[in-house]
Structure 1
Amino acid sequence: MILDLQQLNPAGARMNEARLARIGEHLETRYVKPGKIAGCLTAVVRKDNLAYLHVAGERDRERSLPVGNDTVFRIYSMTKPVTSIALMTLWERGLFTLDDPVSRFIPEWEDLQVRVGGSWPEFATRAVDRPMRIRDLLTHQSGLTYDFMYATNIDKAYRELKLARAEKGYTLQDMIEQLAMLPLEFSPGERWNYSVASDVVGYLIERISGQSLPEFLRAVIFEPLGMTDTGFSPRDDQLERLASCYTRDSQKRLVLQDDAQASQYVGRGFFSGGGGLLSTASDYLRFCQMLLGEGALGETRIIARKTLELMVANHLPNNADLASVAMAGFSETHHEGVGFGLGFASKIDPVRNGYPASRGSYYWGGMASTLFWVDPLEDLAVVFMTQLIPSSTFNFRGQLEALVYAAMD
């Protein structure tokens, strides 16, 4: 069933309308009115019904433009699950296995090294203990990292090289060639570290499919699901609906990070499978409904039920949680009680995690504080959109979990 954002039915969703109203009250009172965020949109879907939809504040403070149901948001790392699903549609065709070495498709990575000392451009290295596998990219156990970690000499080298930066003319091939010059943080499979691995997944899609990443995502996911507002750059007709993105200065005041009317997203050539998509709440809800539908939305199947089951299972060694295997550093989730699959975090211990989403729920978020989760046990999906960098500023996920589950009848 494709939802109409004008048709609320909390009773059909078996949720308490008065308790759902607490969500908007909380967000407006605690965040929007004090100016901690410019605006936000929250949508709750359960049992094929739109239980709750709330918009508040402005998408563009400088021009006093309100958030609307059709506002276009930068979803950053909520791109990762989309890219991961896309790659696994190629796995379903038998075009690769999860244990294939990445060098099968990226020969430049045949002789990967691990750092043992030094800094850019003079690293001391050793050979990896085993080849990097495609599974390692999907589970963030590849040994790659992100430039914004500010934790090691490797992420410093990423910054020096401006790796994976969406500057004019920069491409996925440029990123692959830069990474070939750099050692890994650890030998593949040893640890978990949030990284540009999903950007590499996007590059693999291009190499395996023979299509550009935007073309492949459009043909395999966006058009079949009717996600007409999702892509890497805003169309001309979307610019007036694009939200501005904000960060905070030293006085904790909102300041522009990316102006909607002069956005760095316009005309980009670097298609980041890890963080490059723009989308709307309506579009991303369709993606979530497909996930709730075990890989299908109505009669449209994107991925097989068993493939999705494999993807959202915990792939960390010995069913560990992130707290026991992750390098210290940023991710889009708390580490306790959380496993990781092929592109999704998964709740493996709600008690240890401290929040009420069911065991087996899965999710991710984005750098500008957007988030989603899917809870198959409760037939529930939640999408939250705002535009505040970094996502670690406020614990929106934990607060929304408490508010949403408290509204269930």
Structure 2
Amino acid sequence: MRELQSMLERRVADGAVPGAVALVARGGQVEVAAAGDLTRESLVRIASIGKPMMAAAVLQLVDDGAFDLDDPVEHWLPELADRRVVRTPQSPVTDTVPAERPITVRDLLESRAGYGFPPDFSLPALVPLVGELLQGPPQPQKVMPPDEWLATLGRAPMLHQPGEAWLYNICSDIQGVLVSRATGQPLDQALAERLLEPLGMVDTGFSAPSGEADRLSPLYRPNADGTLTVTDPPGGQWSILPAFPSGAGGLVSSLDDVFAFQRMLVSGGRAEDGRHVLSEGAVRQMTTNYLTEQQRADSELFLEGQGWGFGGSVDVVRRDPWNVPGRYGWVGGTGTAAHLVPTTGLVTILLTQREMTGPTPPPLMREFWRYSAGV
């Protein structure tokens, strides 16, 4: 444990992060270390490492028979019926063709529904998405309510035909709207009742728990000169419930709550008390790669050659010392990472509140992965 503690302390001392808390669980042993302004009890904005939680909520509904993976989503999301697709990704938004088939639940889970962000952010079809739906840096209080958000999305052409290409982020937000409509509940309530409460995740939600905003760490953005600026204080954007609960990256959580979710996955869908929260089959589906070699290559900016399951990446090739084929998880733009290896039960979690400046994982993240992989 001392090596992990020293790693975090060194990175805080050299200014890489204002604080960090990390966990490595292997073979029944759990290591936890914290340094700087983060502790094991801190609340943090977990950003995109909440995407697997959103996918799990969708799969619970599949387990319950609410819908099947290959069902068209337009039954619950009529705004996404009769879609138009730009003729080529480079085409203007007015040059479209009909979608060749409906968008399915599977398309959303695989992030291949035709909506999302490609490596090239200059494509014309992205203009309405970036202009109306993407609010720049995370600002949950500035996003429109779900029905208005989906109607706005439905007016934009798709960038690719369903199933054709992996695109980042937006599918997880659509999943959130799907869960809300299929359950007849606001997403925050549905997620709490169906997933968070059964797992004992008392710190997790789309805002800090009532009366506990003081536990929320500040969010920092790096400046060009190496200094850090607070972009969201404890009483800021995540202190109250937003109009749009983002399934793609809007959750607040804590180290132990993230661990509870990861532990459920490596336990075949079981909570700590032995109850099934997800079926074993659903967990296998989550942690299986669905992307072709070409789709992985086209998404190199985000995935660095790795595959994608439901809500998270899946390591499929050995190209770095920490890479373990079958490792599942993801990283978040607030400087967070959570991964697991289903075959061995290894769980690794790193939480900071320093915003990433791009999709490439920062040095601390890579150092942490090397340590957790034992190299």
Q: Scaled by the length of structure 2, what TM-score is found? A: 0.91
Mapped to 2, the partners of 1:112 and 1:279 lie a distance apart of 36
What is residue 210 of structure 1 aligned with on the other side?
A: 184
Q: Please give the residue correspondences for 1:25-64 in structure 2 after superposition, counting only pairs within 5 Å.
A: 25-29=6-10, 31-50=11-30, 52-58=31-37
The alpha carbon displacement at 1:90 in A equals 0.7
Aligned to 1:81: 52
| d(CA) in 1 for partners of 2:208, 2:181 | 25
Equivalent residue for 1:403, pick from 363, 371, 374:
371
Shift of 1:227: 0.6
Matched, 1:176 2:176: no
Aligned to 1:241: 215
Please tell me whether the aligned partners of residues 140 and 237 of structure 2 are also in contact (alpha carbons under 8 angstroms). Answer: no
Match of 1:377 in 2: 343
Contact 1:322 1:340 in 2 (8 A): no
Shift, 1:121, TM fit: 9.5
Alignment-derived partner of residue 10 in structure 1: none
Measured against aligned partners, the alpha-carbon deviations of 1:288-328 in whole angstroms (never above 9, x if no partner) come to 111111100232210111221122111124xx3753342x6
Tell me by how many angstroms 1:397 deviates: 3.7
Q: 1:71–1:241: 8 Å Cα contact kept in structure 2?
A: yes
Q: Is contact 2:112–2:164 with CA below 8 Å preserved after alignment?
A: yes
Counterpart residue number, 2:311:
343
Deviates more, 1:233-242 or 1:36-45: 233-242
CA displacement at 1:355 relative to structure 2: 3.2
Whichever residue aligns with residue 38 of structure 1, its letter is P
Letter in 1 for 2:35: A
2:352: which partner in 1? 386
Q: How does 1:135-284 map to 2 (within 5 A)?
A: 135-146=106-117, 150-163=121-134, 166-167=140-141, 170-284=144-258
1:163–1:178 CA contact under 8 A, matched in 2 = no
- Separation in 2, partners of 1:373, 1:92: 23
8 Å Cα contact 2:89-2:160 kept in structure 1 = no
Aligned counterpart, 1:24: 5
Alpha-carbon offset, residue 33 of structure 1: 1.0
Name stretches of at least 5 consecutive residues in structure 2 with no aligned partner. none
1:309 aligns with 2:288: no
**Cα offset, 1:357, TM superposition:** 4.2
Distance 1:147 1:256, change over 3 A: farther
SS of structure 1 residue aligned to 2:116:
coil
Residues 370 and 322 of structure 1, relative CA distance in 2, 3 Å threshold = farther
Q: Which of the numbers 36, 40, 51 marks the counterpart of 1:69?
A: 40
Q: Which has the larger radius of gyration?
A: 1
8 A Cα contact 2:89 2:123, kept in partner = no
Residue 365 (structure 1) aligns with: 331
Q: Structure 2 matches for 1:75-154, cutoff 5 A?
A: 75-116=46-87, 123-146=94-117, 150-154=121-125
2:93 and 2:124 in contact (8 A); partners too: no
State the superposition RMSD in angstroms.
Answer: 2.4
Q: CA deviation at 1:106?
A: 1.4
Contact 2:90–2:123 under 8 Å retained in 1:
no
Distance 1:325 1:149, change over 3 A: closer
2:261 aligned partner, one-letter code? F
Which AA in structure 2 matches 1:204? L
Q: How many angstroms apart in 2 are the aligned matches of 1:396 and 1:366?
A: 14
Change in Cα spacing, 1:169 to 1:127, as seen in structure 2 (3 Å) is closer
Separation in 1 of the partners of 2:304 and 2:150? 29
Aligned-residue offset at 1:153: 2.1
State which of 264, 268, 275 in structure 2 corresponds to 1:290: 264
Letter in 2 for 1:219: E
AA at the equivalent of 2:16: K
Same amino acid, percent of matched pairs = 26
Candidates 282, 285, 296, aligned match of 1:323? 296
Distance 1:365 1:122, change over 3 A: closer
Distance in 2 (alpha carbons) for counterparts of 1:267 and 1:95: 27
Task: Give the TM-score, by structure 1 length.
Answer: 0.84
How far is the alpha carbon of 1:365 from its aligned partner? Answer: 1.6
Say if 1:120 and 1:157, in contact at 8 Å, map to a contact too: no
Q: 1:148 to 1:27 in 2, by over 3 A?
A: farther
Maintained 8 Å contact 1:128/1:187 = yes
Aligned residues: 369
Residue type of the alignment partner of 1:335:
E
| Residue 399 of structure 1: how far off its partner (Å) | 1.9
Equivalents in 1 of 2:295, 2:50: separation in Å? Answer: 21
Cα distance change, pair 341–74 in 1 and its aligned pair in 2 (3 A): same
